[in-house]
A and B are shown apart, each in its own frame.
Chain A
C-alpha cells in the first residue's frame, strides 16, 4: 500500500489527511497545535493517524506540511541576530522606507520595529550608475573589516543589498565572496540572488527578512527531517510556500521568506482542486474562520499572485498568493460606537472566553451569538453534539450590549450584526476582484472554514454571484490541499527596455537563463520532463508609467510576431484594468518572470456513484430560522450532511449540519450533492434574471 500525508498547521488546530492511494480512502485527524514548537503536534499527529489506520511508516510515499516557523518568528520577533551591508549613504533606507506613516490620522500607530537594531547596519564604499556601469569601485578592504567586526559580535545572519545590484551584481558578488571567506558559518542573504528586481527599498526589505529567518529555518529543517526519519518515514518532507505550491524542505533554507505567509496557501490549493474536480476554473475562495477571513481569486485554474504585499509592515517582493485578509470571523465581537453605528471586530472573543453562547465566561455578543439567535446555528449544540450551546446567553449578550441601546428587538439586532459582517466580506471580495479588474459575477464562490458556509449565500447574492461550492469537509479540508499541490520555483530578473524587435534576442536570452535554472531544480526534485512547465511572464508598462501589468509569453522562443501579440495583449490588459489603452505609446519591459512548475502525480479522491433511484433527502428535524426580507423566521428543515447521498437535491430555505460546519441555504438557492460529496449551490433568482436579460 502507498499512503500520502498532508499536514496543515493552524493557530488552534493541526489538521492531518491520510490518503490510501490504492483504495482511495481518506482518513482525517484534528489535533491541538503546539504553539511553542509546531513540529511536536505534527509528529504526534502523524503517529496517531498512522497507528489508528494501521499503516506502517515505510508505507508513507509522500509527506507535505505547512510550517508556521517563519510566520511565528516574525510575529514574535524571534529571528536571528542580523546585520545589513549596503551602499554608503543608505544605511537608514530600511527605517525611512518610503517615508509614509502607517496611519494618516492616528499619531499613535507606529512603524514596525526594525529587525536590525543597534547599529548593525553597515555601509561600504561602492556605487553603480543607473545602467549598471561602475561609478565607484567596491572598497574590498572596508568590506573585510566590517565582516571581521560582525564575526566578533557573533552575528548569525548577514543581508547584502546595494544599489542597482539587480542589473549588475558584481559588487554584491564580491561582498558575498569576502563573507564566505572570512565568516563561512554565517547565514547569507544576497539581494540580487533572492529578488533581482528594481526599487531598492522592497528589495532590501525582502533580503533582510530572509536573513532574519534563515538560521531559524535551517535549525527547524534539520530537526524536523531528523524526527521524520527517526519515525521510519523514508520520504523527504515537502513544505508549503506563500505562492500556493510546495517545495522540498531543504530548499527553504536558502529562501525561508517564501514560506512566511504560507498559512492560507493549503486552503486555496484545496479549493482550486475541488473546483477543478467539478469542472470549474474561475473561483473566489472564501475561508472564514473564528477570527478572520481569507479571500483569494483563481482565474482559469491559476492563483492570482502578488509581489506587492507586506508582512508585518515590511514589503516582501517574493510572489505570494494575493490573499485579502479581513479581521472578522465567527468569534468577532459586535459593538456600538459613539455615533451609534454597529461595528463588528476587529476584537475577537477567540477560543477563550469565546462567544457568549459557549458559556465559558464570554459576555460580549459575537457573530456566532447572532447566528444562534437567528436559529442559523443549532441552539442546543454544535460539533455534532460535542459542545453545548446556550441560546439564552447569546440572547442576553445581544440584548444587553446592542438591542437595549438601539430600541430594536434582539432578532433585529442579531440580523444587523450579520448584515454588517457580511458587508465587510463583500468589501474584501471586491478588493480582490473589482480592484484588480475582475467581475465577481463571473466567478464561483468556494466557501469553507468553520464559518464560511453560514455566510456564503448572503455574500454571494450581494456580489451577484450565482454559483457556489461547499467542499465535502469545509472545516478541515485544507490538509487535503497538500496532497494535490504542485512544486514551484519562481524566478525574476529586471531589465528595463523598450519593447522593440531588436530586443527580442536579449529577451529570449534572459528567459533562457531562468528556465535553465528551473530545469535544474525540477530535475533535482525528480520531476519527469513531461510534467515540467515554465510559465513566462513580463511586467510591462507604458513608457513614463511607474506601475506594471503582467503579460504572458506564448510557448517557445519569442519572435517578431510573438512580440507584436505581446504588445497587443498589454493594451488589452490595460483596457481591462483601467478602461483605456494607448496604442501609440511605446511599451517598457521591466521584470521577466519564470514560474517553473513541476506537476506532482495527483491522487484520485473518493468518488461515489450516482444511484438510479435516489430517495428524497429527509430532514433530521425542523427549527425556526431567520431569513432577511419579508419572511422573518421560517420553519426550516435541518439535514445532516453525513446522511446526504451523491445526486440528492435540496431547495432553500434549509440548513445542513455537519461535524465541522453549518451550511445555510437561503430561499431561492438550490443545493445538489455531487459525486465527491461537495455541495453545489445555485441562486435560481439571479439565474432567472440573467436568462430574462438575455
Chain B
C-alpha cells in the first residue's frame, strides 16, 4: 500500500497495521518471557510489552497483565521531561519504576523503554515492564503490608538512562543491584528486558521500511478507529448516572474499612467516572496513583463494553476521570502504594456494581477481588543461598446471568500463572501440602459464584519468614440479583498443631521448620436467587464437593438423601 496515501485510511489498512503492531508487541513478550531468569516472569508471565509512537502514545500492548497498562501510560512523557527528544540517541534505553516520577504504579514493576530511530529521526518507542520479585525495601519481596511510606517499599528509580550504544551502563545497573536482595536474578531479568526491546526495535524498523512516512498517519488512524469503535458501543448504553460504593477491609495500619465509590455518567457517546466520594489517601500501602487508576478504568471499559477492542491510547479519548488529588485513588508522595492492586480490584468492583444497573447482562458479580499474596524468604540450607518466593493465588470469578463463576482463577487486573509444585519444591525449601478449591466459598445463586483456592505450604527449613498481603478477608464479594456473597479469604499459621489466624496484611512472620501457612482465597458472588438454581446443578456441585450438604439444603433448599 506504499505511496497510496489517501485522506482517510482504508478499513483494510487499519486492520493490517493493528495486526502488525500487536505482533511486534507479542514477539517482544515472547522474547522477554523465554529469556528472563526469575520464575515470576518466566513461569508466571508477570510482565507486559508495548509499542508507542514518537509522541509517546501507546499504540499496541500485548495482552499480558492489564495492571501494567498503568505503567505504560506516561512513561515516555516522563522520559522526555528529563531527556529532551534532541538529546536522545540511537542505542539509548531508559529505566524507571517510580509511581510518582517514573510513570510506574508500584516499585517492583520496572519498565525499560527504548527509542526507535530511522536514520537520525526518532520514530517510535518500545517498552516492556516486568515485576521483579525484590527491589529492596523493608521486607523481602518489597511489598509490605504495613508500609507507611514509599521509602519503605524499595529503590525508587526515576527515568534514567540505562543503555548507551545498546549496552547496559554498568554504574546504573550496579546502583540498582546493590539495592536488591537477589542481585543475580535481577541481572538476568534486566538483561532479558533489554533483549526484548531489541527485538521490538528490529521489527519496527522493518515496518518503517515498508510504510515509510505513512506510518505516522496510519497510527493516528488506528487511534481514531479505537475511539470510534468504543464510542459506538457506549452510545448503546442508556444515558444516566449510576452510583456504587464498596469497601477495602482496612489499610493495613488502621482497622477501619476504607470506602471506594464511583459515580458514572453516561451521556451519548461519552462516559465519565467521578471518584470524589472515595476515601482520602490512607496510611497503609493500598494507595493508587493516577496512572494506576487510568489503567483500571481502561481495563473495566474493555471488559464491560468490548473485550476485543485494541489496547491503545485511543481508549483514553472517550472517558474522563474526576478525582481530586490526595484521594486513595490519586495519591500524592510519599504515600505507600505497594499493594495498589487490591484497591484497583475494588475500583473494578464498584464500576461493575454501578454498570450492573445499566447493562445487567454484561456484568458479573464481585470476583475474589484481591491479589492474595504470600512471600516466603530465608536461607535455603541446600545451597546456603538467600531466596525470596512470592506467589499470588487466584480465587473465584463472579457469576453472570449466563453461567456460574469460574473456580480458582486470577481475576481482573492480573492473570499470572502459578508456579508448578514440582518446580517450587526443587527451587525452595518448602513443601505444598494441599492445593484445592474451597468448598462453599462460591456465593450461592441461580448461577453459583466461583470457588476460592486453598494452598497450604510447609516449611522445610528453620528461620523462614512469611509476609501476607490481601483484601476481601472481612468484607466478602457481593452477589447480584439475589445471588449471595462469596466467602472471604484468610491466612492461617499452623505451628505445633496450633492454628492461628493472621492479619490480611502481615509482615515478617517468623516460621519454624515444619510450620504450615494456609492461604485461603475468596470465592465470588452468585447471580440470581439460589432457589432458582436447577436441582441437577445443585446435586452435581455436591457430588463434586463444590458445595456441602448443609449448603445444598440451607442455601438452595435442595434436600438430598
Q: Which residues of A contact B (CB under 8 A)?
A: 88-93, 95-96, 98-101, 103-108, 110-111, 117-119, 129-130, 135, 163-164, 166, 198-201, 336-343, 406, 408, 412, 415-417, 419-420, 423-424, 427, 430-431, 434-435, 496, 542, 544-547, 574, 577-580, 582, 628
Contact = CB atoms under 8 A, between A and B. Distances in A.
A200 B410 CA distance: 19
A427 B544 CA distance: 42
Interface string B452-493: 010010000000000000000000000000000000000000
B456 A89 contact: yes
B229 interface: yes
Given A99-B394, A99-B416, A419-B13, 16 more contacts: A89-B436, A90-B435, A92-B436, A96-B436, A100-B409, A106-B308, A198-B420, A337-B229, A340-B11, A340-B225, A341-B18, A342-B15, A406-B10, A415-B12, A431-B26, A577-B31
A100 B415 contact: yes
A356 to B, nearest CB: 19
A294 to B, nearest CB: 19
Nearest to A402: B11
B307 A101 contact: no
A91 B436 contact: yes
A340 B406 CA distance: 33
A198 B415 contact: no
B27 A95 contact: no
Interface string B176-191: 0000000011001001
Interface stretch (B119-127, B239-247, B422-430): B422-430
Interface SS of A by simple majority: loop
B175 interface: no
Nearest to A415: B12
Closest 3 CB pairs of A and B: A339-B229, A89-B434, A416-B12
Contacts of A95: 407-408, 437
Given A99-B409, A108-B402, A579 B228 contact: no
Contacts of A340: 11, 14, 225, 228-229
A119 B408 contact: no
Nearest to B408: A96
A103 B307 contact: yes
A319 to B, nearest CB: 19
B433 interface: yes
Given A96-B407, A99-B410, A199 B436 contact: no
A222 B15 CA distance: 50
A432 to B, nearest CB: 12
B540 interface: yes
B551 interface: no
B55 interface: no
Nearest to A578: B35
B423 A546 contact: yes
Nearest to B36: A545
Given A89-B435, A98-B417, A544-B185, A104 B66 contact: yes
14 contacts: A90-B434, A93-B435, A100-B417, A101-B410, A104-B415, A107-B400, A118-B544, A199-B422, A339-B225, A408-B10, A419-B1, A547-B33, A574-B35, A578-B34
A419 B16 contact: yes
B169 interface: no
Given A99-B394, A101-B397, A406-B10, A578 B437 contact: no
Contact of B37 (A111, A338, A544): A544
A406 B11 contact: yes
Interface hub of A340, A412, A416 (most chain B Cβ within 10 A) = A340
Interface residues of B, number: 87
Nearest to B300: A105
Given A110-B406, A340-B225, A419 B12 contact: yes
B214 interface: no
B92 interface: no
B379 interface: no
Interface stretch (B192-200, B252-260, B271-279): B192-200
A539 to B, nearest CB: 13
Contacts of A101: 397, 406, 409-411, 415
B27 A430 contact: yes
Contacts of B77: none
Contacts of A117: 540, 544
B30 interface: yes
B42 A547 contact: yes
B42 A545 contact: yes
B503 interface: no
B289 interface: no
Contacts of A91: 436
Contact of A164 (B39, B364, B422, B433): B422
B544 A119 contact: yes
A577 B400 contact: no
Contacts of B33: 547
A578 B36 CA distance: 10
A338 B195 contact: no
Contacts of A574: 35
A520 to B, nearest CB: 29
Contact of B12 (A119, A198, A420): A420
Given A423-B16, A578-B195, A416 B407 contact: no
Contact of B543 (A88, A118, A135, A337): A118
Contacts of B27: 430, 434-435
Contacts of B426: 130, 198, 496
Contacts of A89: 432-436, 456
A337 B23 CA distance: 20
Interface hub of B19, B34, B411 (most chain A Cβ within 10 A) = B34
A98 B433 contact: no
A164 B420 CA distance: 11
Contacts of B415: 100-101, 104
A110 B410 CA distance: 13
A339 B228 contact: yes
Contacts of B406: 101, 110-111
Contacts of B322: none
Contacts of B435: 89-90, 92-93, 96
Contacts of A135: 431
A118 B542 CA distance: 9
B199 A200 contact: no
A581 B503 CA distance: 44
Interface string B62-74: 0100100000000
A424 B18 CA distance: 11
Given A100-B409, A341-B11, A423-B16, A544 B228 contact: no
A434 B308 CA distance: 25
Contacts of B397: 101, 107
Given A101-B406, A118-B544, A340-B11, A546 B43 contact: yes
Contacts of B433: 89
B38 interface: yes
Contacts of B303: 105-107
B545 interface: yes
A341 B15 contact: yes
Contact of A420 (B16, B184, B307): B16
B12 A417 contact: yes
Contacts of A119: 543-545
A7 B456 CA distance: 52
A282 B129 CA distance: 35
B333 interface: no
A117 B66 CA distance: 33
B302 interface: yes
Contacts of A118: 540, 543-544
A342 B309 CA distance: 13
A339 B431 CA distance: 51
A577 B196 CA distance: 11
A342 B42 contact: no
Contacts of B191: 580, 582
A196 B225 CA distance: 50
Given A105-B303, A106-B303, A336-B11, A96 B437 contact: yes
B265 interface: no
